[in-house]
Structure 1
């Protein structure tokens, strides 16, 4: 069980190191230096049809850094009591999403690429895919 309050106020946009170069900029993320977790999985979403939504789930133990590698999109984060919409539109900024937060990714621009760094390998047992089950989980989390 987590030893912190899992609410949207603990999900923050972080600025990544940006190395500027006339030939093209670069951002660097290294385990143990830039994130509060070691990266164990990387995936990215692309060619998302207009009007489509991704996410629509929460994780019990997984931390994620969500980055708009190209284009833009909105991330709706929800802790069961509060909701917040964060627009990601710069590749040197990422949204840190902690465990116990419902997230939806919406409003993808044409050509958007959503790049995600995750703290754990894929495990279906870590997912909460039903919102009512998420609310029950959050109630039990706060009772602990």
Structure 2
């Protein structure tokens, strides 16, 4: 059973060169899962919010490739806000965490590396259902 404390910022190594910087992420090296899907959000209107769901199994690494935005993470008991604004920092989101995104800056690009291919059955899209799931899960432990 994961909590918001299990969601952490991961420093992605940076190689500095005269021609710019490069950061590399590799399955089972500095990502603790095999990436099965990559997607990105962009052109999100200022003032918009995204997310509003949790996953049963999916893990994610989220990177602000450009600009900035804030994640609000919720484990059913506690909430935690994480501001992302640098491409060499990845937010590792573990399963069973409700997430919302807000405060997108102009021109922001959010890159997401996911541990599973898209499956609607892995989503919890209703907050009351999420709380029920977390309560049932905590009784098992």
**Runs ≥4 in structure 1, deviation > 3 angstroms?**
none
Structure 1 residue 23 displacement after superposition: 1.1
Structure 1 position 34, deviation (Å): 0.8
CA distance in 2, matches of 1:31, 1:6: 21
Question: Residue 22 of structure 1: CA displacement?
Answer: 1.9
**1:28: which partner in 2?**
24
1:16-95 maps to which residues of 2 (within 5 A)? 16-95=12-91
Report the count of equivalent residues. 140
Q: Which residue in the other structure is 1:143 paired with?
A: 139
Provide structure 2 residue ranges, at least 5 long, that are not aligned to the other structure: none
Superimposed CA distance per residue, residues 46-101 of structure 1 (whole angstroms, 9 cap, x where no aligned partner): 00001111111000000000100000000000000100100000000011000000
DSSP-derived class of the 1:20 partner: strand
Q: CA deviation at 1:35?
A: 1.0
The aligned counterpart of 1:116 is 112
Structure 1: state its 5+ residue gaps. Answer: none
SS in 1 for 2:130: helix
CA distance in 1 between counterparts of 2:49 and 2:59 reads 20
Q: How far does residue 24 in structure 1 lie from its aligned partner after superposition? A: 1.2
Q: How does 1:97-136 map to 2 (within 5 A)?
A: 97-136=93-132
